[in-house]
Structure 1
Amino acid sequence: MTAAQTAEMASMSEAETIALAYEEAAGGDARRALQQAIEDVLILEAKLAIAERMVSHGYTRGGLSGGGA
């Protein structure tokens, strides 16, 4: 990588860097790169939805059943 290429990459936004990485991974095929990026986003959305369902959104105070203190 030349100094000019390094400087160009340093000036790129995070989105541009990610897009370039997808394009390189897809062998320069922009359509395939876009499809892979969308598939990754859909997978992450599904994982986020699962994680959100696992988070408690409330707190209740009460005694334990079964005759404690």
Structure 2
Amino acid sequence: MYARRLRFTQEPRTVVRFPGTGKRESLSHSDRTHLPDPVIPGHTYQDVTVAYHLATRLAEEPEAGRSGDDDADE
């Protein structure tokens, strides 16, 4: 993501969720240019770049008969 100007009215709150069943192992990381962590509400940031990386995988086999899709039996 690139923005010439970016301003936050309040500190952002983010959540990542994975639907389905099974235990997961996940990693995430963001590379930011001209954008501190945390951001300051009301401050205008210029020439901002954010690259977000996310990787996830099932840590174990799903239970027998469970695909994680609620409509699988229809």
TM-score tier, shorter chain, comes to: under 0.3
Q: Which has the higher contact order (CA 8 A, sep 6+)?
A: 2
Structure with the higher helix share, 1 or 2: 1
Task: Give TM-score, length-normalised by structure 1.
Answer: 0.23
Task: Give TM-score, length-normalised by structure 2.
Answer: 0.22
Structure with the higher strand share, 1 or 2: 2
